[in-house]
Structure 1
Amino acid sequence: MKEVKSTMAGNVWKIVVEAGQEITNGEDVVILESMKMEIPVSAESDGVVKEVKVKEGDFVNEGDRLVILE
């Protein structure tokens, strides 16, 4: 099981993947918003999205799990 974690603290602005979706290394999975800037968070490996752990509008800290991959 692989995880995609937040790279910084911020609000979850947009979730761009859903459970069951195949993704590739480097593909954006979540867009964070911090200080009026949009920061994409990308997968670090190929996989299939097993679970999205956050919802749009949530506040996350650096290192929080965003997406679980199989």
Structure 2
Amino acid sequence: MTIVKANMAGSVWKIVVSEGEQVEEGQDVVILESMKMEIPIAAEASGVVKRILVQEGDFINVDDAILEIE
């Protein structure tokens, strides 16, 4: 299992995948908003999104878990 973590602090602006969806390594899974910039967070491995651990609007910090890929 791979846990995708935030590489910077910010607000979850948009979740672009859903649980059960197949994703490829490098595919954007979440868009963060920080300092009025949109920062995409990419999947670190290919697989199926098992669980999304955040909601749109949540504020997350560096290294917070965003989702699990199996």
Q: TM-score surpassing 0.5?
A: yes
**Matches of residues 10-49 of structure 1 in structure 2 within 5 Å?**
10-49=10-49
Quote the Cα distance in structure 2 between the aligned partners of 1:22 and 1:46.
8
Gaps of 5+ in 1: none
Length, aligned pairs only: 70
Q: Which runs of 4+ in 1 moved over 3 A?
A: none
Gaps of 5+ in 2: none
Quote the Cα distance in structure 1 between the aligned partners of 2:6 and 2:12.
10
Q: Which amino acid aligns with 1:49?
A: V
Quote the Cα distance in structure 2 between the aligned partners of 1:17 and 1:4.
13
Identical aligned residues as a percent: 59
| Residues 21-62 of structure 1: per-residue CA shift (max 9 Å, x gap) | 000010000000000000000011101000000000000000
Q: Over aligned residues, Cα RMSD in angstroms? A: 0.4
